[in-house]
Amino acid sequence: MAARVTNPTQLADLAGRGLVTRAGSATAAQARTLPLLPVFAPLVPQCAVQRGSVVGCVGAAAVTLALAVAAGPSQQGAWVAVAGMPSLGLAAAAEAGVVLERLVAVTEPVDADGAVQPFDDEVWGDLLAACIDGFDVVLLGPGTQQVRPATARRLVARLQARGAMAVTVGAPVFGADLRFECAAATWVGLGDGHGVAQARRAQLALTGRRVPQERRLDCWLPAVDGQLRACEPTVDGMVTPLRRTG
């Protein structure tokens, strides 16, 4: 057993000899986190999420928000598994920045009449454990709400051991270390019988276990040019609805 270090100079000495690495070193921190898209920089310190975290997305733009959270690691080479979300729009996923080459979905079987035959707690437990073992990001949809709280706790423990990240939409059973809430979203571009939806302005709020105070951000999910970015401080009707001319 190593001798207990009581004197701070002793510790510095050990560090000097390369026996102790400083926990705060940048590379070590990078290894323990997964990067997010730059749009979240004002909300999340270092713009990265600790591995092993559960990120909950709720509110009006929850699905797009979850895709945007998953997009950061995905663009850095991580694989994303989607579970219990059979109706995910793939075009929207690609637009949010998720790399489709590294996307895999697990869905529940549908019988001949079109009715979904949900997996039970045990099957989801095995499937999600396999997802957590194999993929860096697991997107948990409403279908996974079937699992019992005990199974969910076991899966979260596994997530922390493996160092993956879970993003949940409509699956509060997994809890949340970080919780993105979209309190209000307004669409721009749609008129009364004319125009087309072009951009969405969302008011995000971040709460969580390690977030002492709620943080707020106004952002475009997405902006008119398709980008996800924070709103400029002074914004007034940036987009004029198209007028019918003919």
Partner 1 sequence: MPRLGVLWCPHWPVVVADAAADEPVAVVHANRVVAHSLAAVADGVALGQRRRDAQSRCPHVRIEPHDPARDARAFEQVVRAVGAIVPRVEVTEPGTLTFVARGPARYFGGEASMAAKVTATAAEAMGRSLAAVGSLGMGVADGRFAAGIAARRAAAAGAPAVVSAGGAATAEFLRGLPVSLLTEVAGVPADFVHLLHRLGLHQLGALAALPAADVTARFGPLGAFAHRIAAGGDDRLPGTHDPPSGLHAQRVFEPPVQHTDALVFVARQLAEELVGALAADGRVCTRLQVVAETEHGERTERHWHRSSGLSVAAMVERVRWQLDAWVQLDDLTAGVALLRLDPVEVRGDDGVQLGLWGGRTQADDWAVRAVARLVALAGEQQVLVPAVHGGRQPHDSHRWVAAATADLVDPAERLADRGTPWPGSLPAPSPAVVHAPARAIEVLDAAGAAVAVSGRGTVSAAPVTVQMGGSAEAVQSWAGPWPVDERWWDPARARRTARFQLLTRSGRLLLVGVERGRWWLTAEYR
Quick one: residue 197, left, alpha or beta (phi over 0 = left, psi -120 to 50 = alpha)? beta
Stretch that binds partner 1, among 10-18, 96-104, 172-180, 232-240 (CB under 8 A): 96-104
Q: Which is nearer to partner 1, 35 or 195 (CB)?
A: 195
* Phi, psi values for residue 32, rounded to 5°: -95, 0
The Cβ-side half-sphere exposure at 211, using a 13 Å CA radius, reads: 19
d(CA 124, CA 156): 13
CB 169 within 8 A of CB 66: yes
* 190 touches partner 1 (CB under 8 A): yes
Q: Which is nearer to partner 1, 94 or 211 (CB)?
A: 94
Give min distance, CB of 38 to partner 1, in A: 19
d(CA 74, CA 5): 41
* 159 touches partner 1 (CB under 8 A): no
d(CA 81, CA 65): 16
* 36 touches partner 1 (CB under 8 A): no
d(CA 93, CA 77): 16
Query: Using CB under 8 A, which of 140, 147, 199, 217 touches partner 1?
Result: 199
Stretch that binds partner 1, among 4-12, 15-23, 38-46, 99-107 (CB under 8 A): 99-107
Query: CA torsion angle for 37, 42, 47, 48 (degrees, to 10)?
Result: -100
* 91 touches partner 1 (CB under 8 A): yes
* 134 touches partner 1 (CB under 8 A): yes
By CB under 8 A, the count of residues binding partner 1 is 58
d(CA 24, CA 30): 10
Q: Which is nearer to partner 1, 79 or 174 (CB)?
A: 79
Stretch that binds partner 1, among 2-10, 31-39, 45-53, 74-82 (CB under 8 A): 74-82
> Which residues of the shown chain bind partner 1 in the complex (CB under 8 A)?
60-64, 67, 77-79, 81, 87-96, 100-109, 114, 119, 123, 126-127, 130-131, 133-136, 184-187, 190-200, 222, 226
